[in-house]
């Protein structure tokens, strides 16, 4: 129980991969969760080549059976979990679709991964987190989930309306608040992280932030102490408006 164990979903690439690297550099044993086990193994081998303690785990957050099997595997091997970073997410059909024009199929696929998959994964691993002396749950959100900023014509995101994605992240924020309340008297802290607009497959090459910086908020929230926030919406230490 002396070694911290972390699971990063969607950890085989992008922000998730860099989050795994930065956590492992602090001495945390990191489990890289990926839908494709081969890609997870390749990512793990790369970080192992850097001398870091990581391993691969197959987990498809859209499959209840896959989530359950992943939780059983972690319990069998480690017996507990200290950090869960719900990083897996999708951005579908973002090209010039008005809010009223985005298809229900896009809404369903987006929510299946970004919301329902995140909730299902959290529920499955919560019993293992409760065995930790200081459990941490980090839900990857986005500034695009801020209703306050979307309603403000002066905000930097006012004109960036990608409805299914944006609303899914607002739902992630709401779920964070609900779960944080449930666990407020426990040793587990639950927070939502905005990584920033980062140069990833999702963020695009024109994004202003590098991946190394995009991982920092998740890592910071994963390693907060007993006096750290619970039920917060954070970017690099700054609190964002809901």
- CA–CA separation, 161 vs 73, rounded Å? 39
pLDDT for 70: 98
Q: Where are the domains of the chain?
A: 5-239
Per the CB < 8 A criterion, the answer to whether 167 and 106 are in contact is no
Q: Which of 77, 98, 165, 187 is catalytic?
A: 165
Q: Give the model confidence (pLDDT) of 219-238 as tens digits.
A: 999 999 999 999 999 999 99
Residue from 45, 65, 64 nearest 55 by CA: 45
Residue 158 known to be catalytic: no
- What value does the mean pLDDT take over residues 45-73? 98
- What value does the mean pLDDT take over residues 30-45? 97
Q: Give the model confidence (pLDDT) of 10-30 as tens digits.
A: 999 999 999 999 999 999 999
Confidence of residue 1 (pLDDT cuts 50, 70, 90): very low
Taking the CA atoms of 60, 211, 202 and 149 in sequence, report the sign of the dihedral they define: positive
Q: Which of 38, 39, 109, 169 is catalytic?
A: 169
Residue 169 known to be catalytic: yes
Residue with tokens 């609900």: 178
Beta bridge partners of 139: 86, 192
Report the CATH number of the 5-239 domain.
3.40.50.720
């Amino acid at each position: 129980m002396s070694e911290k164990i972390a699971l990063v979903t969607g950890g085989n690439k992008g922000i998730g991969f860099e989050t795994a690297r930065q956590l492992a550099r602090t001495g945390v044993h990191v489990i890289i969760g990926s839908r494709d086990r081969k890609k997870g193994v390749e990512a793990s081998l790369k970080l192992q080549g850097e001398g870091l303690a990581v391993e691969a785990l197959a987990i498809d957050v859209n499959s209840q059976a896959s989530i359950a099997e992943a939780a059983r595997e972690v319990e069998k091997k480690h017996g507990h979990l200290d950090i869960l970073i719900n990083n897996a997410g999708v951005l579908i059909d973002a090209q010039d679709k008005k809010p009223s024009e985005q298809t229900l199929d896009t809404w369903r696929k987006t929510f299946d991964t970004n919301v329902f998959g995140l909730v299902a994964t959290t529920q499955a691993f919560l019993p293992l987190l409760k065995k930790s002396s200081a459990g941490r749950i980090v839900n990857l959100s986005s500034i695009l989930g801020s209703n306050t900023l979307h309603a403000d014509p002066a905000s930097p995101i006012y004109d960036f309306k990608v409805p299914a994605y944006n609303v899914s992240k607002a739902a992630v924020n709401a779920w964070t608040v609900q779960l944080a309340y449930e666990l407020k008297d426990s040793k587990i802290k639950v927070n939502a992280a905005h990584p920033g607009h980062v140069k990833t497959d999702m963020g695009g090459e024109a994004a202003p932030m590098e991946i190394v910086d995009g991982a920092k908020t998740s890592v910071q929230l994963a390693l907060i102490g007993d006096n750290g926030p619970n039920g917060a919406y954070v970017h690099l230490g700054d609190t964002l408006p809901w």
